[in-house]
Amino acid sequence: MILSHKIQLEPNKQQIGYFKKACGTARFAYNWGLAKWQEDYKIGISHNYFSIKKLFNSIKKSQFPWAYEVSKCCSESSFSNLDAAFKNFFAKRAQFPRYKKKGIHDSFYLSNDQVRVCNNLLKIPKLSYIKMTEQLRFKGTIQSAVILRIADKWFVSISIEMSESPYTACENQEAVGVDLGIKSLATLSTGVKFEPLRALYKNEKSLKRLQRQLSRKQKSSKNRLKARMKVAKKYYRVRCLRTDYLHKLTTFLTENYRYISIENLNVAGMVQNRHLSKSISDCAFGEFKRQLEYKSKLRDNTIFIADRFFPSSKKCSCCGNIKQELSLSERVYKCEICGAAVDRDVNAALNLKQLLSTGGLSETAYANVCGDHVRPDCQCKTAMVDEAEIINMDTFIHI
């Protein structure tokens, strides 16, 4: 099991200068390899990671002697990333590789033999000890490290291989369905609702002001660089607020529910709606799913992902009747067959929970963990909208 821990660094001026040189070397090697790859491809010569690295090393001493001022991993990892980018392109998983630009996603890679950690100090070749804002959270064998810059702040992401999970398994055998949405970020089949944080919406006014100031600055000036850093720091704050909230929510779910059922949303298609695209992006459904999946593996939980076309909102959780049409304005699901009146999101969460019976769990196990809500004589017909418990950021349990 390999986990990564990202920690902020507190480097001095000398260390910052080394970081910038290393990032520049990694960026130059990537761009040089991409240009050489395209140039040789036109004359019928194909490359891979080993051939392009060998070609670069043969001319590095004579043409690029400044590359020896930093670790050799900076250039070697760039060719590995370039090789992976071309493989993803030919497999139609990504677009054609593009040249890297200075100041955008600056980072460089270090192998395990060039990284040492002692308490809150990081040691890499050709540099003194670098201060970290916290100690490593996990214990194990260090596999690699990536030093990166975000909003003019430096971080190190350390990958650690561990023999066992650092977290205890979830003891609660209860199952839950989770419905994601814009009005309520997550609605559980128990009736509990988690309000969206709306981090971007709350900081949108200050972001507009900073971006207006940036647009008025002269290009390539020092003041423009300062204004650009202010915008980047504001976006970084929005990102941190959103990620922190999602971490608390996913940790709460994996700690309290052994079996979790979620839906496979087509986020790329949903953001095509120009009226809802900003709100959908602010909720970060993809990040929620990513965190829930890896935390479930750490705690030995079972995750069931419903099919993308499963009618969780249109299906009645009591009798199974499916409505042909259901508008977004209908916040209460009213079944014409059995007369059930359930909150729209709670109804969808109950349908997702019922899928656990056919998602790999036996009927006996499902009956033990799910209670009586999945039976035909369930009491959800009387579950009205005002009974749903709503949890906002002020009352959310900090984990």
CA distances from 277 to 101, 204, 242 (A): 28, 15, 16
Taking the model in full, what pTM does it have? Answer: 0.83
Q: In what order do the strands lie in the sheet with 153-161?
A: 107-111, 141-150, 153-161, 2-10, 130-132, 121-123, 116-118
Indicate the domain borders of the chain: 2-161, 175-391
Tokens of 74: 């900076």
Point out which residues pair with 261 in neighbouring strands. Answer: 177, 304
Q: Encode the chain (399 residues) as per-residue pLDDT tens digits.
A: 889 999 999 999 999 999 999 999 999 999 999 999 999 999 988 889 999 999 999 999 999 999 999 999 999 999 999 999 999 999 999 999 999 999 899 999 999 999 999 989 999 999 999 999 999 988 889 999 999 999 999 999 999 998 888 888 888 888 899 999 998 999 998 889 999 999 999 999 999 999 999 999 999 899 999 999 999 999 999 999 999 999 999 999 999 999 999 998 888 888 998 888 999 999 999 999 999 999 999 898 989 988 888 888 888 888 887 888 888 888 888 888 787 788 888 888 888 888 886 554 433 333 333 333 333 444 333 233 333 444 444 444 333
Point out which residues pair with 295 in neighbouring strands. Answer: none
Residue with tokens 């949108």, as numbered in its chain = 204
pLDDT of residue 360: 44
Is 345 tagged catalytic?
A: yes
pLDDT of residue 62: 93
pLDDT of residue 348: 87
Distance of CA 296 to the CA centre of its chain: 15
Q: Which of 76, 106, 263, 282 is catalytic?
A: 263
Residue 276 has a CB neighbour count (10 Å cut-off) of 13
pLDDT of residue 359: 52
pLDDT of residue 159: 94
Distance CA 373, CA 10 (A): 53
Is 40 tagged catalytic?
A: no
Nearest CA to 354 among 378, 336, 338?
Answer: 378
Is 83 tagged catalytic?
A: no
3-state secondary structure at position 8? strand
Nearest CA to 1 among 385, 300, 379?
Answer: 300
pLDDT of residue 371: 37
Between helix 222-256 and helix 285-298 the angle, nearest 10°, is 50
pLDDT of residue 340: 78
Tokens of 132: 């970290």
pLDDT of residue 345: 87
Point out which residues pair with 176 in neighbouring strands. Answer: 260
| Residue-by-residue DSSP string for 168-220 | PPP----EEEEEE-SSSSEEETTSEEE----HHHHTHHHHHHHHHHHHTSPTT
Distance of CA 181 to the CA centre of its chain: 17
Q: Which of 345, 363, 377, 386 is catalytic?
A: 345
For residue 42, count CB atoms less than 10 angstroms from its CB and return exposed for 0-12, middle for 13-18, buried for 19 or more: exposed
Distance CA 344, CA 332 (A): 5
pLDDT of residue 382: 29
pLDDT of residue 65: 94
Q: Which of 83, 106, 179, 282 is catalytic?
A: 179
Q: What is the CA radius of gyration of the chain?
A: 26
Distance CA 314, CA 344 (A): 9
Helix (H) or strand (E) holding 273: none
